[in-house]
């Protein structure tokens, strides 16, 4: 998601245009999934104690829901960025 090389003015323009219609997610999908897992699991442990199977299922669901939500937003942004780069006549690196 983050580019390490410097971007030209036209690449910056493509990024800004793509961010208007499909903004990039605020968090990386992996970190969002870990935060979601914590949000799901901490109340579960506080109110139900540690039961291995239900806790594992809660952790999996808590991770996957925000992960897939953020991953979908990231993919939408990358698709829109590729469209904008093509519209501006830039070479698509992906």
Give 6's pLDDT tier (boundaries 50, 70, 90): low
- Taking CA 18 as the corner, what is the angle to CA 67 and CA 65, rounded to the nearest 5 degrees? 10
Residue, of 76 and 2, whose pLDDT is higher: 76
71 pLDDT band (50/70/90 cuts)?
very high
pLDDT, residue 30, reads 96
Q: Which residue has the higher pLDDT, 91 or 24?
A: 24
Q: How far is CA 62 from the centre of its chain?
A: 15
The proportion of the chain whose per-residue pLDDT surpasses 90, expressed as a percent, equals: 67
pTM of structure: 0.80
């Amino acid at each position: 998601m983050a580019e390490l090389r410097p971007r030209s003015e036209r690449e910056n323009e493509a990024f800004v245009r793509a961010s208007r219609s499909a903004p990039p997610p605020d968090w990386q999908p992996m970190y969002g999934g870990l935060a979601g897992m914590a949000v799901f699991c901490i109340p579960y442990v506080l109110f139900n104690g540690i039961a291995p199977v239900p806790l594992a299922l809660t952790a999996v669901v808590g991770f996957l829901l925000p992960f897939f939500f953020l991953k979908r937003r990231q993919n939408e942004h990358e698709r829109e960025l590729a469209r904008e780069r093509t519209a501006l006549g830039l070479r698509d690196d992906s």
